[in-house]
Amino acid sequence: MTTHDQGLVLAGIGKDLGGRTIVDDLDLTVATGELVCLLGPSGCGKTTTLRMIAGFLTPDLGTVTIDGSDVTRVPPEKRPTAMVFQNYALWPHMTVFDNVAYALRLRKTPKAELTERVHEMLELVNLMHHVKSRPARISGGEQQRVALARALVQRPAVLLLDEPLSNLDAKLRVRVREDIREIQQRLGITTVVVTHDQDEALSISDRVAVMNAGRIEQYSEPVQLYRHPATRFVGGFVGAMNTFDAELLAGIPVDRPVPPGDGPRTVGVRPENVIIVGAGETGTSATITRTIPRGHFTELVLEVSGDLSLRAFAATTAEHAVGDTVGLRLSSVLIYDETGALA
């Protein structure tokens, strides 16, 4: 990746707050026009990282570079960034038009240009019919799009979104996240989104950075992240994962040699890779202890032995009941040690 392609670069970023390290020696490069999600549990440092990009916090260590310019010490109002906050932060006494126009008025943008740019953004987010409405008169999804238009009207080099869909119901979240992705791709704007929702991250991102304890544990495309989680934490956080200790015997096929070592290794198995077969077929015997309807599939909890249970996904057309004995096979597994994925 050339320097020109690096829309946003965080190099060795560190931040302590309240005597605790929140972000620890973090490196991240976001290409121009790319949408990247910072994904992780509460307290992992993702929002602190976003606020350092925006300039609301100054890193204790490291640099923030946007389009080749070091902005580490540049105040937020002078950075080429715009942020959509979790609570939208709309002015309740202003119309939709005036909310979107607010930053342009502060910059004393000529009236004709201001009107043209605001209308352009409201058309982009499909809200021209609410141009004279106030926030209280429109839905949560429409308020989110007003906040997005207000950020985009500033024509930032980097768009930042902090948990942008957390206030919406589940069905609306899906629609609005698709709107955000479509608008981002249409404008080709470099974008960083903070979320703890793995479905959101996997569905809209070019790449996902999974954070844990102030560090990035894996940074890769969504498909790679799901199929080949680099650490046990990533495997458990992104999607469902069965984990257990097991001995790796000679003759088991692996995609690359596993270094020798004493004792068991940690094995990770996605539920969709636990294959249910007939009780008399070759495989490990297990007892169904619970069935959980999931709509288009059924989740089964299987007791393999007294101290080992696995979860599997089965078709809703298959007839499974609590107490049934079935056979199971593992079609694909991940093998880990304390350093990460081995095979």
Domains and CATH numbers, the chain: 3-229 (3.40.50.300), 242-341 (2.40.50.140)
Q: Report how far apart the first and last C-alpha atoms of the chain are (Å, whole number).
A: 28
Contacts of 256 (CB under 8 A, 6+ apart): 342, 343
Question: b/e for 7-36, b at 16 or more Cβ within 10 A?
Answer: bbbbbebbbeeeeeebbbebebbbbbebbb
Task: Work out the average pLDDT over 59-79.
Answer: 95
Q: How far apart are CA 158 and CA 222, in angstroms?
A: 21
User: Cα–Cα–Cα angle for 301, 231, 13, nearest 5°?
Assistant: 135
pLDDT higher than threshold 50 for residue 270:
yes
- CA nearest neighbour of 157 among 54, 48, 284: 54
pLDDT higher than threshold 60 for residue 90:
yes
pLDDT band of residue 318 (cuts 50, 70, 90) is confident
CB burial of residue 267 (10 Å; 0-12, 13-18, 19+): middle
Helix axes 140-152, 170-187, angle to 10 degrees: 20
pLDDT higher than threshold 90 for residue 342:
no
pLDDT band of residue 250 (cuts 50, 70, 90) is low
Supply the pLDDT for residue 253: 62
pLDDT band of residue 338 (cuts 50, 70, 90) is confident
- CA nearest neighbour of 292 among 317, 265, 314: 314
E strand residue ranges, the chain: 6-17, 20-31, 35-39, 61-66, 69-70, 81-84, 158-162, 190-195, 207-212, 215-220, 242-246, 265-269, 274-277, 284-293, 297-305, 308-315, 325-330, 334-337, 340-341
Supply the pLDDT for residue 266: 85
pLDDT higher than threshold 90 for residue 76:
yes
Distance of CA 82 to the CA centre of its chain: 19
Supply the pLDDT for residue 337: 76
Tens digits of per-residue pLDDT, 285-310? 889 999 999 888 999 999 988 788 99
Contact (CB, 8 A) for 327 and 276: yes
pLDDT band of residue 334 (cuts 50, 70, 90) is confident
Supply the pLDDT for residue 4: 43
Task: Work out the average pLDDT over 240-266.
Answer: 71
**The model scores a pTM over 0.85:** yes
Task: Work out the average pLDDT over 119-124.
Answer: 94
Sign of CA dihedral 159, 66, 36, 44: negative
pLDDT band of residue 343 (cuts 50, 70, 90) is low
pLDDT band of residue 122 (cuts 50, 70, 90) is very high
Supply the pLDDT for residue 259: 63
Task: Work out the average pLDDT over 241-265.
Answer: 70
pLDDT band of residue 8 (cuts 50, 70, 90) is very high
pLDDT band of residue 81 (cuts 50, 70, 90) is very high
Q: How far apart are CA 117 and CA 334, in angstroms?
A: 51
Q: How far apart are CA 230 and CA 314, in angstroms?
A: 26
pLDDT band of residue 255 (cuts 50, 70, 90) is low
Distance of CA 89 to the CA centre of its chain: 22
- CA nearest neighbour of 32 among 220, 191, 204, 193: 191
Supply the pLDDT for residue 254: 64
Q: Which one is predicted more confidently, 271 or 266? A: 271
pLDDT higher than threshold 90 for residue 201:
yes
Task: Indicate the range of 133-147, 152-166, 246-260 predicted with least confidence.
Answer: 246-260
Supply the pLDDT for residue 2: 43
